[in-house]
Amino acid sequence: MLRKIILASHHGFCMGVKRAINIAEETARDMNGQVTILNEIVHNEAVVERFNQQGVGQAFSVDDVDGGVLIISAHGVSPDVFEKARRKGLKVIDATCPLVERIYVIINRIVGNGFHVIHFGDPNHDETKGIVGHAPEHITVVSSKEELLALPKWRDRKLGLTVQTTAHSSEFADIEKLAQQKWPHLEVFNTICNATTKRQAAIMDLAPQVDMVLVVGSQTSANSKRLAKISEAICGRGILIGSAAEIKEDWFAGKSGIEKVGISAGASTPEFLVEEVIERLQAISGGKAEVIVPQKKNRVKRATSRAD
C-alpha cells in the first residue's frame, strides 16, 4: 500500500529552459509570419507539442527552413549553423542557455592560448555538437573512461578538460581523476551547471528514503535519464516516465508493493506533468498517501496529507 510520496527539493525546469521557453513564446507572439525552432526547444515532448499547436514550426536542419524567424534552442548550435541561417536571410533569435555559452567562451579562450580540449560528453547530444563546432580541430570528445585512456600521451601539449553541463558529477569526478593521472599538466574546467548539481544532490537525498523513484522526463533528456540512473543505483528502482499515464498500479499492489515513492523531474520537464504524477499516485493510494515537499536541504515540511 502506497503511504508516502516525497518530492525532490530541486526538480523540473531550470533557468536555461525557462529562459528558452519565454524567448520562444515572446517570439511566437510578437513576430508575424513563419517562426521555426531549430531542434527541440528543450528535450520534452509536451513542451514541443505545445509550440506545435501554436503554429511554431520545428526543423532539425537550417536546410529545411525557407524563411522567417529561426529560434536556436537552449542547447545551442555551432557557429556555422548561425552563418548558414544568416546566409539564407533568416532572422535568428538565440535562446542558447548562458551556461552553455560560458563553455563556448572558455573553449575559445583556451584554444586561443594554445590548448587542446578534451570534452567529456555525449557526442550525439545537441549541446556537444554545438560545443565541438566552436573549435572542431581543437576538441576531442570522450564519453567513457576507456575512450579517455585510449587517447595519446600528449606530453608536450597544453590540455584542458571540459564537461557537458548535464553530466553525472561523480562520473565526471572519476574522469577528472583519471585524466589528471594521465596528464598531470591538464587544466580542469568543471562546466557542469548548477541546476544539474542541485538536482543530482536532491535525488541523492531523496533516494535513500524511498523504495522507488519516478523521474518525470523525456527519453531524449540526458539529465532526466541520469537522475533515473542515480536513483536506480541508490534505492534499486529508478524509473523514467514521460507522464502519469506510464505509472502501473501493480507496482503498489500486494504485500511487496511499493510503500514510499520519490518523485523528481528533469530540467526540461514542465511542472504540470509532475503535478499529474502526484495526483495519479494519490488516486492509487485512495487519497491516503502523505505528500511531502522538502523546503530546504535536510528539512522537510508536510504539504498535504489526506491520511491525517
Site string for ligand SF4, 27-66 (x = CB under 6 A): ----------------------------------------
- Cβ atoms of 297 and 205 closer than 8 Å: yes
C-alpha cell at 164: 557537458
Active-site position among 49, 83, 101, 127: 127
DSSP string computed for 176-190: HHHHHHH-TT-EE--
95 binds ligand SF4 (CB under 6 A): no
**How far is CA 73 from each of CA 32, 132, 178, 276, 279, rounded to the nearest angstrom?**
20, 16, 33, 26, 31
Report the residue closest to ligand SF4, judged by CB: 16
Binding residue for ligand SF4 (CB under 6 A) from 267, 274, 277, 278? 267
- Cβ atoms of 269 and 216 closer than 8 Å: yes
127 is catalytic: yes
202 binds ligand SF4 (CB under 6 A): no
Binding residue for ligand SF4 (CB under 6 A) from 39, 166, 221, 282? 166
- Cβ atoms of 59 and 65 closer than 8 Å: yes
C-alpha cell at 83: 552563418
C-beta of 17 vs 161, nearer to ligand SF4? 17
Site string for ligand SF4, 117-156 (x = CB under 6 A): ----------------------------------------
Give Cβ neighbours of residue 47 (< 8 Å, ≥ 6 apart): 21, 41, 268, 270
From 13-21, 43-51, 53-61, 86-94, span contacting ligand SF4 (CB under 6 A) = 13-21
Smallest gap, in angstroms, from Cβ of residue 99 to ligand SF4? Answer: 4
Smallest gap, in angstroms, from Cβ of residue 34 to ligand SF4? Answer: 25
Give the start-end residues of each E strand in the chain.
4-7, 35-38, 57-59, 69-72, 91-94, 115-120, 139-142, 158-163, 187-188, 212-216, 238-241, 260-265, 290-296, 299-305
193 binds ligand SF4 (CB under 6 A): yes
- Cβ atoms of 145 and 174 closer than 8 Å: yes
Q: Which residues bind ligand SF4 (CB under 6 A)?
A: 14-17, 74, 97, 99-100, 165-166, 193, 195-196, 223, 267
Active site residue ranges = 127
